[in-house]
Structure 1
Amino acid sequence: MSEAPDDPDGSDGSDGRVVVVTGGSAGIGRAAAVAFAAAGLRVVIAARSEERGAEAEREIRARGGEARFVRCDVTSPGQVRDLFARTVELYGRVDHAFNNAGVPGDGRLADLTTEDFDRAFAVNTRGLWLCLREELRLMSAQGGGGSIVNNTSVHGLRTVFPGIGAYVASKHAAVALTRMAAVEHAHEGIRVNAVAPGPVESDMLAASEAAVGGATTWRGLIPSGEIGTPDQVCDVALWLFSPASSYVNGQVIGVDGGFLAT
């Protein structure tokens, strides 16, 4: 039996809008969940880790925000369907989504195993599509409207380093999915955009040290010489959720200290 939506009029102090954040238990995703809740949105945190997801929920609620954790592996169609069904049970609707779940894909193309290649696409491309499919269906059924932001990468617009071919290819595909979804649903008032972060302080950046030189290499490529922060990415996503960006659709916005301009 479905639960009645919690406080649908936003009297809990939220503005009533609902956002789903995939990969929301760590890194950019966790920072986004915290930032969105601080901005007044009701946040559904989706991630595979029960422990870290529950921690993220507690952190937000301790700060006075509204958040729920729902365990979800975005590579599973059933779990993705359940995530959005649960969101509707909790809050009655979905207004925004930040499709952030992602994995690296290190290794030169000639050296990759089939499993490594498939894993990058299973999460970064197919998982993104599975989430987009549910989000677009729900927003359409609600009468249209809504804003979706996909977390891609500068690697989805430009081949930066050798040795991460599966990741680069999967992120190029994510950019294509963003643009197609925007074109197909613009007539319903549903906007689909993407952020394309450059190097951002995260476990993934630290882990890239061995493969591509990590932050040290990146500082030589960024005009500002600075490594970004998760909050800088979240600020752009929040703007894309807002009416201030109402005529922005199908765009991939670099959050990269000027790297894509070089």
Structure 2
Amino acid sequence: MSENAGAPAAPDSLRGKVVVVTGGSTGIGRASAVAFAEAGMRVVLAARREDRGAEAAHEIRSRGGEAHFVRCDVTLPDEVHDLFARVIERHGRVDCAFNNAGVPGDGRLAELTPETFDRAFAVNARGLWLCMREELRLMSAQGGGGSIVNNTSVHGIRTVFPGIGAYVASKHAAVALTRMAAMEHAREGIRVNAVAPGPVESAMLAASEAAVGGATTWRGLIPCGEIGTARQVADVALWLFSASSSYVNGQVIGVDGGFLAT
């Protein structure tokens, strides 16, 4: 059975829409790019790793979807600006964006290096803002309308484990940026929401085993007792893009098996 078996049918309102996915070469970003293409969206993947990004775009095209890859480091303003300039050159507009690029920030606060702290904020907060700045400007210039979804984390709402302070702080910042952008641009019909994944099967989760217990610890915290999948996060982002969520704005939606309810 495929991972998306039982998922709702793709909304017709999204067919032909242009969507930009940062961090689109692996994990949640890649699964989301596939889901968006299956919904008939025109996908632009952005990531630092050119080989993986090109491979992801090729996978989508081999399945009959529309996708192309642009190399971009979201911490660099010129590269972010170039990304969206190339999207406009190719497609003429930006309808949706999934700001997914993110990095960990491990280490207890008293032991963190400035480099680790700065890196977490450079990608998870400043990089998010740099992308939203371009997206909001373009959507406004198009006459308004559009949907932005930011990938935050349950850690941006509730502090769970010690030893990941830089990551937690940067994700709290991402939540704040989401809400501020939603408030500032609501009158233009631009919606800005976020998904807050709990534990999802990924290389990042596997890497957290030594520091915080990874999947083993998480299974004891999640009411359903299961680790999520990247596709489950992608399906929520897809709904947030669609007309079915037209009155949803400034929200951070947990995709967490019920964790935030405990």
State whether TM-score is above 0.5.
Answer: yes
User: Partner residue of 1:18?
Assistant: 18
Corresponding position: 1:158 with 2:144: no
Map of 2:246 onto structure 1: 246
1:42 aligns with 42
Which consecutive unaligned segments of at least 5 residues does structure 2 have? Answer: 1-13
- Equivalent runs, 1:195-210 vs 2, <5 Å: 195-210=195-210
Distance 1:226 1:134 in 2: 37
Deviations 1:61-83 (A, max 9, x none): 00000001000000000000000
Q: Equivalences for 1:141-156 in 2 at 5 Å?
A: 141-156=141-156
| 1:15 Cα deviation from its structure 2 partner | 2.5
SS at match of 2:250: coil
In structure 1, what is the equivalent of residue 27 of structure 2? 27
Once the two structures are TM-superposed, the CA of residue 157 in structure 1 deviates from its matched residue by 0.1
2:63 is matched with: 63
User: Aligned to 1:144, what secondary structure does the other structure show?
Assistant: coil
Paired residue secondary structure (1:176): helix
Name 2:114's counterpart in structure 1.
114
Amino acid at match of 1:211: A
Measured after TM superposition, the shift of residue 20 of structure 1 is: 0.1
Within a 5 Å distance, the mapping from 1:173-252 to structure 2 comes to 173-252=173-252
How far has the Cα of 1:16 moved from its partner? 2.0
What is residue 6 of structure 1 aligned with on the other side? none
The residue that corresponds to 2:11 in the other structure is: none
The residue type equivalent to 2:183 in the other structure is V
> Hey, what does 1:8 align to over in structure 2?
none
1:30-59 deviation per Cα after TM superposition (whole angstroms, max 9, x unaligned): 000011001100000000001000000100
What fraction of aligned residue pairs are identical, expressed as a percent? Answer: 85
Distance 1:96 1:210 in 2: 37
Q: d(CA) in 1 for partners of 2:178 and 2:211?
A: 28
Distance in 1 (CA, whole Å) between partners of 2:31 and 2:49 is 16
Residue 86 (structure 2) pairs with residue 86 (structure 1):
yes
Query: Whole-Å Cα distance in 1 between the matches of residues 169 and 17 of structure 2?
Result: 34
Q: What does residue 73 of structure 1 align with? A: 73
| Separation of aligned partners in 1, 2:45 and 2:176 | 25
1:120-160 deviation digits (Å, cap 9, x = unpaired): 00000000000000000000000000000000000000000
> Where does structure 1 lack aligned partners over 5 or more consecutive residues?
1-13
Provide the C-alpha distance between the structure 1 equivalents of 2:91 and 2:238, rounded to a whole number of angstroms.
Answer: 20
Q: Give, as a single letter, the amino acid of the residue that structure 2 aligns with 1:161.
A: F
Q: Distance in 2 between matches of 1:208 and 1:83?
A: 31
Shift of 1:204: 0.6
User: Which residue pairs with 1:10 in the alignment?
Assistant: none
Question: 1:33 is paired with a residue of what secondary structure?
Answer: helix
Shift of 1:23: 0.1
- TM-score norm. by structure 2 comes to 0.94
Q: What SS does structure 2 have at the residue aligned with 1:150?
A: strand
Question: What RMSD in Å do the two structures reach over aligned CA positions?
Answer: 0.6
- Provide runs of 4+ in structure 1 moved above 2 Å: none
2:122 pairs with 1:137: no
CA distance in 1, matches of 2:170, 2:30: 22
- CA distance in structure 2 between the aligned counterparts of 1:75 and 1:119, rounded to whole angstroms: 9
What TM-score results when the alignment is normalised by the length of structure 1?
0.94
Report how many aligned residue pairs link the two structures: 249
Which amino acid letter does the alignment assign opposite residue 45 of structure 2?
Answer: I
